[in-house]
Structure 1
Amino acid sequence: MASFRSQTQSFGQTEINWDKLDKTKFYVIGAGIFTGITVALYPVSLLKTRMQVASKDVVDRDAFSLIRVILRTDGIRGLYRGFGTVITGAIPARIIFLTALETTKVAAFRFVEPFKLSEPTEAAIANGIGGMLASLCSQAVFVPIDVVSQKLMVQGYSGHATYNGGLDVASKVLKVDGIRGLYRGFGLSVMTYSPSSAVWWASYGSSQRLIWS
């Protein structure tokens, strides 16, 4: 079985260790791709959130009729309520995720190396551990952003309160519920996203080795 060092050498330029990685390009490209995906999918997230919290009198409204109402009332900006807050918080959260993922993977590879497992198995374990811990670390930032952004998404809709931006939401939540108010659902988020991140990255890492071989 190949060691972690020999794996890296055999994969040449395809496998790049954390210490060899160009951090600036890594973060800029990673944040840029994530921002692009967020821009494209944010209206869908907003529609989903509004439909989930709709009062009884509007619960039967479908997505297309909801889009028409939003565009008629607020224009295209209505589909991006809370986007500034999301992107401001999500970029550092994504940096935390990527940093934790890559550094943990390196440590995990070294941990499993003495067990002399196959390359796909080693990759699955190391990537799985990295994905799980990266998700756990990033939830510390993602959850408060979700709490604030979701309140902005539904403000003034179906009887919900209105706010003057993300800072106003955060200050009012802190005033009423304290810091715990910004972390509502944190446990459930960890239970949902950490295992799914572990499975995703484990599958990704092992599939890479199988394809390369």
Structure 2
Amino acid sequence: SPTVNTHYGKLRGVRMPLPSEILGPVDQYLGVPYAAPPIGEKRFMPPEPPPSWSGIRNATHFSPVCPQNIHNAVPEIMLPIWFTSNLDIVATYIQDPNEDCLYLNIYIPTEDGDGAKPVMVYIHGGSYMEGTGNMIDGSVLASYGNVIVITLNYRVGVLGFLSTGDQAAKGNYGLLDQIQALRWVSENIAFFGGDPLRITVFGSGIGASCVSLLTLSHHSEG
């Protein structure tokens, strides 16, 4: 099994072959914490760096998704069309949600190349109300493009975007989660063979809107 050291501790991943003669296997590190659990007094607060750990942390399974409930939504209004046509499939990815959900998944091609690999970070959509990076398998893109692909969870719904208009709950915690994830990637991706100076952020639906918002926020600087 592949292993890697990060600034926070050592991770053990899994090497996954792809069902294709032209695509090589991909190393996957799943459920990697990029922030401290936003629970208790940290609820409705900006994310903080994750705590370090000792020993080797298994990164072979997805983490829980952030709390959400697509079955109580009005599909034709609140959910993107690709959600509404596949609600049963989507539901399998959001079972057992937990507020301790700020994790990311890393897909690394095993093909040898010159120098560090470019990095692509995907922001999922879902009307700011639902979704998870766990639904997007970055293996094929990573292997085909010889790039490192990263997906992530961020707080959605009330926990991610509620604002009281004062200091009690300023709002936009979901966007701040994304910024913290990018900060983690910038600081640690070199350990995975990635180039911290070549990170591309992309998304679909509201995820694409988030990318635009990140370019406007002074919190994204640096």
Return the structure number with greater relative CO, CA threshold 8 A, min gap 6.
1
One fold, TM greater than 0.5? no
**Structure with the higher fraction of residues in strand conformation:** 2
Q: Report the TM-score, using the length of structure 2 for normalisation.
A: 0.27
Structure 1 length-normalised TM: 0.28
